[in-house]
Every structure is written in C-alpha cells, then in structure tokens.
Structure 1
Amino acid sequence: MEVFIEQLKPGQEVNGAYVLKSKKLLPLRSGTGHYLAVALGDKTGQIEGRVWDSVYERHYSCRVGDVVRVQGQVEEYNGIVQINISSMSACRDIEADPFKFIPSGKLNPESARDKLFSIIASLHNQHLRELLTLILSDDIFLKKLLMSPAAKRNHQATIGGLIEHSLGIAGAAEQLGAAIN
C-alpha cells in the first residue's frame, strides 16, 4: 500500500513511489567507498533516505526529478526520520499522477477559471478580449493552464500555481489601471 511521507513512522516498512528531489554520493566514515544520500518527496513533504548497497548503480540509474520506486525501512537517526533504502529504481515508464507528487494550490480550478473569464469579459479592448477567449476555448490548453505549476520549486510550485500567479498579475494590472485612470 502506498503511504504518503507525512504518514511514515520509524519501524515501518516502505514500498512506494516518490520524486527523487536530490542525491549526493558521500564518503563512508571508514574512508573506503560511498553511500548515497537522497531526498524523496510527495505532495505531503520530504524525507531523507540513505542507500548503502549498489550505491553507484543506483546513483547513475536514477536522476533528480525521476519518480522512483523505493523499498526500505523507516528509521530515526540523530533525531531525524529517514528511510534506510534497500531498493531504489527509476519508474520512467509509468504515467505519474501529479496529485500524488505535487501539492495543490489555494484556488480550485473552477473558481480560477470563472475569475479568469470574468477578467477577460471586463476588458475594454474587443480584439484582446476575442483573442483571449479564442485561446481559452481550447479545452486541452485551458486544463493545462489551470493545473500547471508556475515553477519547479519555491514560486507557486503547486498544481494550479500558474493560474494563481496569472490571476495575481492580472489583479495587479487592474489596480494599476484604476490608479492611473
């Protein structure tokens, strides 16, 4: 059964798919060999992981940004919950559900769409209004606009982040226009 990161507890077995957020080969304290330190994420958060076996193979076969299948044991080390990873492999052949890996934004898609069309309807320039209406009549484009993040991280990196950002800019432009007039 898939378990979200926020639900993981020490002592628990893990067998799930997560986004590989970062990876780093680090030297073992013994000075001979390396281990792989990784950060894994889903929509609920991030957790550290350590790979001790087949380190180089896993380092070179999994890229940052990949969805990876992870098996291992959740442990607490120095007060930090992490996964002792026994198996990790890239899942490049699956269609990842973005709702599992990316947090959702503040607006629901329907209200964002309604607000966008309301702004377009209020435009005084008929040609611009018709152009935007034509562009947004493409259902595939509109769905992508409503669901896409604005960035990969930090700045509205959520499902719906792009429309939230766009509506914020449109709102600022409306206020600026009102102040100028």
Structure 2
Amino acid sequence: MSRQYIANLKSGNQVEGVFLVLKKEIRETKDKKPYLNLQLADKSGCIDAKKWDASTSLYNSFNSDGFIRIKGTVETFNNSLQIKLLEITPVSESEVQMDEFVQSTEKNVPEMLAELKEIIRSVKDPYLSKLLISFFTDKSFVTAFCAAPAATQNHHAFLGGLLEHVLSVTKLAVNFSGFYPVVKKDLLITGAILHDIGKIRELSYERSFQYTDEGLLTGHLISGVLMVNEKASKIEGFPGEHLNVLLHLILSHHGEYEWGSPVKPGTPEAIALHYLDNLDAKMQGALKAISNHKDDSSAWTDYVRMFERRLYKK
C-alpha cells in the first residue's frame, strides 16, 4: 500500500499509516469522557486527529515528537479536515524513514549555496567581505545554515528554508540597491545574508521544528548579534561603526517592537532590509496557503492566520 500523505487526504478517506506526533493532549467531552486530541504530521503537512473513548494508558503509550501507526477516517469539522482515529499503535524511530516526515526545500541546496557565495564575492568592502568569508568557510556553520528552517510554521518552515529565504532576500537586496544608489549596497547585502543566522541556534529541526532553550530565552536576533560580534572580533581592525550599523540591521529587521525588534530601523539599509525580509516571508506564506488549499470548488483559501484574511486563488 502506497503512503497516504496528509496533503492528499480528502473527507471520507480511510487512512492507515505512520505519522509523527506534533502535539498530544487528553481532554474530556461534555459527558466527562476522556479523548485524545492530537496533531499529526508528515512532510506534506499536518492534520488534527481525535481518538474518542481514550484511556490514560493509551495517552502514555507514545510521546509527543514520536511516531504512531494509525487507522482512521478523514472527516470535515468546522471546514477543516481531521482524522477520527480508530486504532493507535506506537512505532519505534528505527522503523521509519525520516525523509517521509520532515519537509525539505524543493530547490537544489548546493546550487543555492553557490549562488549566495557568488554574491558574497561581489562585496567590495574589505571588512564586510572578510566577515562573510569567515562565516562561509566555517564548515559547521555552513552545514547548519543549509539545513535549518527559517521558521517553525509561518514561512519557509522546511529543511533548507533558511538558505532559501536568505538567498531570496539577498537577491532582492542586490536589485533594490540598483534603484537607490545612496543605499550602501555592501552593507545591505551583508545584513541580508546575516540577518537570520541566529535561527541555527534558535530552532531544532531533527524531527519536528521546535524552539531550543537558547531560542526561547534569547531569540534569534540576540543569537545572531553574538555570532557576528564573535566573528568580527577576530578580524583585525574591524571598524566599530561597521559593527554598530550591521548589528542594527540584525536587531531591527522585524521592524516593530511588537514583532520582536528591540529597536526600529534607523538607517536606509535597515528600513530596506525590514521590508525586503517581510516581503519574501509574506510571499512564501501566501503561495504556500494557496498551494495547500485543495478545495477546488472554492476560489478562496480558508482563513490564513498570517494575513488575517482569506486569499483569492485564481
């Protein structure tokens, strides 16, 4: 029997297979009967699932971030699909193929990395060039940078997502700088490449995408600043003003205090980076929402949290 991926499920389907457990909790019905409320995933997406008349022993038999084999029926509830679970059996990690559960970029990682390195070679400022080279000749950094997602769910939430997002923002920065010669091109490019490097410390991504302790305690902006400061400190004569404006780019790229930036963009390059970063994230989020909506009878997606509205698909 071929694998049934979540993205292909339709209401009424009988489903049987192994899935990754993203979330699990035990709840009670109005009649005080316990049931399991789960969120299951594979590389194509995630779906809610419920097991009625469940026991505490069944709840304790598997872990969140573990694997279960299920039998069930796909139903529609509040205009969304969910699985009514009939059977649940815990499955050992040794029995699964991980590439079926963790989504990866559809683009060629070595080609994306090569394209980013080509842009790095175009940076003329000697100090910014040395800084970028110090990162991209660091094998452990490059390995993590090429594997990490850019987020846990909203945009580029897949292996290689960080590289894909950074390359897109950097290419936008290259083109943008041609329209505004007053913008310091080398600084904007460097900020675009380094603005999200803290994600490699903020996120864990061996199975599902979760926040690390460092990510929850400090976040990727602070982690990125620490990483840049460490590399810059090893470059003899690295100008203090260069470092200040570059760190400002990283700290301000979310744009607003309520979006996590401790400072708002205060230079032309920082203003540009904020909007270019936001543009790429929003476009990827919109295209993902449209692609994932499988109801061909509707010209509109379901409500998309990122945009707080439905999107027109045609």
Give the structure-1-normalised TM-score. Answer: 0.74
> Map of 1:22-171 to 2, 5 A cutoff?
22-31=23-32, 33-52=33-52, 54-64=54-64, 66-76=65-75, 80-89=81-90, 91-92=92-93, 97=98, 99-105=99-105, 107-124=107-124, 125=126, 126-135=129-138, 138=139, 141-171=141-171
Tell me the distance in 2 between the aligned counterparts of 1:169 and 1:41: 29
RMSD value over aligned CA atoms? 3.1
Kept in 1, the 8 Å contact 2:75–2:83? The answer is: yes
Tell me the distance in 2 between the aligned counterparts of 1:144 and 1:95: 23
Structure number with higher strand proportion: 1
* Letter in structure 1 aligned against 2:113: R
Tell me the distance in 2 between the aligned counterparts of 1:104 and 1:133: 21
Instruction: Compute the displacement of 1:6 (Å).
Output: 2.9
* Letter in structure 1 aligned against 2:20: V
Question: Unaligned 5+ residue runs, structure 2?
Answer: 185-314
* Letter in structure 1 aligned against 2:35: Y
Q: Name the structure, 1 or 2, with higher relative contact order (CA <8 Å, separation 6+).
A: 1
The count of aligned residue pairs is 174
Tell me the distance in 1 between the aligned counterparts of 2:93 and 2:165: 30
* Letter in structure 1 aligned against 2:24: K
Tell me the distance in 2 between the aligned counterparts of 1:90 and 1:154: 29
Structure number with higher helix proportion: 2
Kept in 2, the 8 Å contact 1:8–1:74? The answer is: no
Tell me the distance in 2 between the aligned counterparts of 1:111 and 1:178: 29
Tell me the distance in 2 between the aligned counterparts of 1:91 and 1:179: 58
Residue 266 (structure 2) aligns with: none
Give the structure-2-normalised TM-score. Answer: 0.46
Question: Unaligned 5+ residue runs, structure 1?
Answer: none
Aligned residues: percent identity?
Answer: 23
- Greater shift, 113-122 or 165-174, is seen at 165-174
Kept in 2, the 8 Å contact 1:150–1:156? The answer is: yes
Instruction: Compute the displacement of 1:180 (Å).
Output: 2.1
Kept in 2, the 8 Å contact 1:49–1:85? The answer is: no
Instruction: Compute the displacement of 1:38 (Å).
Output: 1.0
User: C-alpha offsets along residues 39-88 of structure 1, whole Å, 9 cap, x if unaligned?
Assistant: 21112222222223553223334343x13122212243657441314114
